[in-house]
């Protein structure tokens, strides 16, 4: 037990020293590059360091040129907990968009009934009803052996029962009326790309919902449309903020640096300066993982 406790403490000490080294390196690089900052919050226990150019947190009061960054260390347990929370949050967004889509589609059905509009779904429903009526008529005449029943049996498409292998093939659908899915994309084969297809599907649903609203109301803005668009706009704003965050399925144990840059007038200058900061920071941090044999190796004069 003493050995295990000592080993755990040594590992945590290595993690803490590595995190502190990364924080010190980042602040030194910022000072050298003349990227000044007014606020720094270093939570050593949580291993999170937040650096911002200005102290004020209200984006409306901040100038157009600003930056903020967050340096964090994540271990395996933290990443797993983040993934569980990410799953629940994404599920809530999916339910919210499905609810909005349901409301818009219901309003579209009411609009079709009012304007006597016929679309493909109505034609398909009529054909299915006619096939059901013909099937009932055929079953009624089956005992009599009428010509009608034999004709319907011969011309109607034979629906074969699916085997288990066929059912498995149909379960892996590659099209869901909104997007095309790549083979294996709807499975958990590659966890790093998880939710990529779902995000694309939600964006296509947004396009469909906006098209439906335009089709129903055209250039008019009644109370119903204003309420629905306010709800959809809020969902889109929150969803874009959620998607812009780091996807925990794309994380591995180690340090993670998140940077938020806002630049309008001197966009090229700010981005290029931050690129130099990142280049110097990565070079300084990676030196701790270099092989000492190559670091101390010196070439002979004859090979220079």
Q: What was the pLDDT predicted at 151?
A: 42
- Here the tokens at position 98 are 């499905």
| Residue 232 and residue 206 in contact, taking contact as beta carbons nearer than 8 Å | yes
Q: What pTM, to 2 d.p., does this model score? A: 0.67
Q: What are the two backbone dihedrals, phi and then psi, of residue 260, each rounded to the nearest 5 degrees?
A: -120, 110
| Residue 68 and residue 83 in contact, taking contact as beta carbons nearer than 8 Å | no
Q: How much helix, strand and coil, in percent to the nearest 5, is found in the chain?
A: 60, 10, 30
Distance CA 245, CA 222 (A): 35
- Low-confidence residues of the chain: pLDDT under 50: 144-152, 154-172, 185-188, 291-294, 297, 299-304
Q: What was the pLDDT predicted at 266?
A: 60
Q: What was the pLDDT predicted at 137?
A: 64
| Residue 24 and residue 45 in contact, taking contact as beta carbons nearer than 8 Å | no
Q: What was the pLDDT predicted at 142?
A: 55
- Here the tokens at position 190 are 């590659």
Q: What was the pLDDT predicted at 138?
A: 64
Q: What was the pLDDT predicted at 168?
A: 47
Q: What was the pLDDT predicted at 7?
A: 55
Tens digit of each residue's pLDDT (9 = 90 or more) over 123-159: 888 888 887 777 766 665 555 444 444 444 544 444 4
Q: What was the pLDDT predicted at 134?
A: 74
Q: What was the pLDDT predicted at 81?
A: 92
């Amino acid at each position: 037990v003493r050995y295990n406790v000592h080993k755990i403490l040594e590992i945590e000490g290595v993690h803490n020293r590595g995190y502190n080294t990364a924080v010190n390196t980042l602040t030194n690089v910022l000072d050298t590059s003349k990227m000044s900052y007014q606020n720094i919050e270093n939570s050593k226990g949580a291993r999170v360091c937040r650096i911002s150019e200005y102290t004020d947190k209200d984006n409306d009061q901040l100038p157009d040129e600003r930056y903020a960054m967050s340096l964090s260390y994540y271990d395996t347990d933290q990443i797993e907990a983040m993934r569980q929370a990410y799953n629940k949050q994404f599920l809530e967004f999916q339910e919210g968009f499905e609810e909005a889509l349901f409301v818009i589609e219901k309003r579209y059905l009411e609009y079709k009934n009012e304007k006597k509009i016929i679309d493909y779904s109505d034609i398909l429903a009529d054909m299915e009803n006619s096939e059901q009526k013909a099937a009932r008529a055929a079953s009624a005449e089956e005992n009599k052996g009428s010509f009608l029943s034999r004709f319907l049996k011969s011309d109607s498409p034979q629906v074969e029962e699916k085997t288990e292998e066929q059912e498995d093939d149909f379960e892996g659908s590659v099209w869901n009326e909104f997007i095309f899915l790549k083979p294996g994309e709807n499975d958990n084969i590659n966890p790093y790309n998880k939710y990529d297809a779902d995000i694309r599907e939600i964006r296509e649903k947004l396009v469909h919902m906006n098209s439906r609203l335009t089709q129903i109301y055209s250039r008019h803005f009644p109370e119903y449309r204003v309420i629905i668009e306010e709800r959809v706009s809020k969902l889109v704003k929150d969803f874009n903020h959620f998607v812009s965050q780091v996807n925990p399925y794309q994380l591995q144990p180690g340090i993670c640096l998140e940077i938020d840059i806002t630049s309008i007038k001197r966009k090229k200058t700010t981005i290029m300066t931050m690129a130099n900061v990142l280049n110097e920071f990565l070079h300084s941090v990676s030196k701790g993982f270099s092989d000492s044999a190559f670091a101390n190796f010196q070439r002979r004069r004859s090979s220079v």
